[in-house]
Structure 1
Amino acid sequence: MHPYIRISRPLTSLMIGLAVFTSSLIGVGRNIDAYMLPVFLGVMIASLFGIAGNAINDYFDQKTDKINHPDRPIPSGELTPGQALNFSILFFIFSLLLSTFLGFVIGFEALLICIIALAFQIAYEKKFKKEKIIGNVIIGTQTSLAFIFGGVLVGKIVITGIFAVAVFLAIVGREIVKDIEDVKGDVGKTTLPIKIGAKGAGIVAVIFIALSVLISPLPYYPLHIFGLEYLLVVLIADMLFIGSMPVIFRDAMIARRMLKFAMLIAITAFITGAMF
């Protein structure tokens, strides 16, 4: 695979775009065809922003990636740090230009969210990457912003805000699991596993994941936003979330992959609920 494709992490970037689409779908359901232009632009903006964010993450992580992820494009020598940084800046510019155009279509709230997300990204990379306890919260906030962004596209912020909370909790839990996985290479960083040990950090991750699972049935009952179809699919995601909990303490890498797959199924549940 070409190094520029690998550094962009297309699956992760598309998941951000899918989160925006899902959020818009949650807001208006089958009436989403009335919002096709802003939703299409929103998905493109989020995906481009995700590509830029992944690339700049690798740029700032080049030293630790020599230990934790030596096969990535920068530590493997396939890309220079400068090439990765320029690639990231280019895609941030594309994302902001599209956001500006979208502002003329639906209002500049969408551009404001993108600017806030960019500010969080820069703050994380420049200041809070080593203070990863705060950094994990920033990452969770950025991801939940994707769901709020999707709500802004269709004018349904309150409904999508519920899902943004669940997403925030799941993402923070997953980021803690990633820190457990990378603890050997995170020299000089303030991570939860370094502060309180892998076991203690695992317990905190379980709490965040469990809270996300507890929120997931609310759109079915008592809010009655979605029907039984949503509940049946989201329960599959919940079983994976719950199943990952004991794995966190044995193999953080496998737990991280289980959590990513559970999130994909959860997004499928949201789409199912909005459509039926």
Structure 2
Amino acid sequence: MKLLKALINSFRFPQFFFFLSVLTMGFFSVKNGPSYLSISKLILCAVSIFFLWWGNSLINDFYDLQIDKITNRLRPLVRGLANPEDFKKYGFLFLFVSLIPTFFVGLHIFLISVFCVILSILYSPLKWGKSPFASLFIALGSSLVFIQGSLIFGVTKKSLIFSLFLFLSLSLVVTSKDLKDYEAEKGKVLNVFTFFGREKGKVVNFFFNFFGSLIWALLVKELFWILLFVSLSISLFFFITEKLKIIMFLYLAEISFIFYFYFFL
């Protein structure tokens, strides 16, 4: 029971909600009327993402234990509530389990799940998540999840274009996540903040957030002035507060609005 509680407490619900939202956007990006079959496939994909993200969280906690002792002291492994090897074991088990639901959905969707599992393994166990290109992994994973949702009906050109912009945008915005680990990673990991220093890195990251949010204006030119205001607001908010979860929620709200405008108006 103690282990189960630790496993549950390690689940990152805000991040899962983000990926679930992207999957749902992909599903509705193809204008076919939902049916019992398509809804069932969507649920199976959601279950797959649930276990994929849970497994990824556990594996990340295992490999980042020393960093978390400095920056995430409330996490179960840091508090000694579970054996690190159990987290590693269940993490890889959940990654495997995540492949089962999409196996029954379709070949292409299953292959995307396989690729997402590979990305998860590259990100934590192989330490690519500690490279200067770590944000590309999260951005690529998000784009693939969007495509996975659209493939339930059949991917369209508009869906592919939107997924490309999602990748480009997130590649810049997600660099914000490295700020909270600055103290633990400086001198060990290369990213915007460790390279430029904390304060100069925040300035560089401000422009990353700004252009990462504003890049959508190339897709929906009619919203340029609205997106300019939103992009500036999101960038300033993180620069001042350093609250990553809130700006990711604001960013999700932004792309949800863009999604509705691009596909339905």
Query: TM over 0.5: same fold?
Result: yes
SS in 1 for 2:182: coil
Q: Number of aligned pairs?
A: 258
Matched with 1:246 is 236
- Relative to structure 1, is the Cα distance of residues 239 and 62 closer, same or farther in structure 2, using a 3 angstrom cutoff? farther
| 1:164-179 matches, cutoff 5 A | 164-179=163-178
TM-score (norm 2): 0.83
CA contact (8 A) 2:143 2:164 kept: yes
Q: Deviations over 1:217-259 (max 9, x none)?
A: 566557xxxxxxxx6xxx5x8755422323444442x2x2332
Matched with 1:85 is 88
Q: Deviations over 1:40-83 (max 9, x none)?
A: 22222122211211221111111100000010111011222122
CA contact (8 A) 2:26 2:149 kept: yes
Matched with 2:116 is 117
Superposition RMSD in Å? 2.9
CA distance in structure 2 between the aligned counterparts of 1:27 and 1:205, rounded to whole angstroms: 34
Q: 2:142 corresponds to which letter in structure 1?
A: T
| 1:71-82 matches, cutoff 5 A | 71-82=74-85
Matched, 1:59 2:47: no
Matched with 1:40 is 43
| 1:162-241 matches, cutoff 5 A | 162-187=161-186, 188-217=188-217, 220-221=220-221, 235=226, 239-241=229-231
CA distance in structure 2 between the aligned counterparts of 1:24 and 1:205, rounded to whole angstroms: 32
- Does 265-274 or 115-124 show the bigger shift? 265-274
Matched with 1:2 is 5
CA distance in structure 2 between the aligned counterparts of 1:268 and 1:92, rounded to whole angstroms: 28
Q: 2:68 corresponds to which letter in structure 1?
A: D
CA distance in structure 1 between the aligned counterparts of 2:254 and 2:144, rounded to whole angstroms: 17
Unaligned runs of 5+ in 2: none
TM-score (norm 1): 0.80
CA contact (8 A) 2:6 2:81 kept: yes
Q: 2:70 corresponds to which letter in structure 1?
A: I
Q: 2:183 corresponds to which letter in structure 1?
A: K
**Percent identity of equivalent pairs:** 20
In the TM superposition, what is the alpha-carbon distance from 1:264 to its structure 2 partner? 3.2
Unaligned runs of 5+ in 1: 223-230
Matched, 1:137 2:136: yes
Matched with 1:31 is 33
CA distance in structure 2 between the aligned counterparts of 1:221 and 1:240, rounded to whole angstroms: 14
Matched with 1:20 is 23
SS in 2 for 1:51: helix
CA distance in structure 1 between the aligned counterparts of 2:5 and 2:228, rounded to whole angstroms: 35
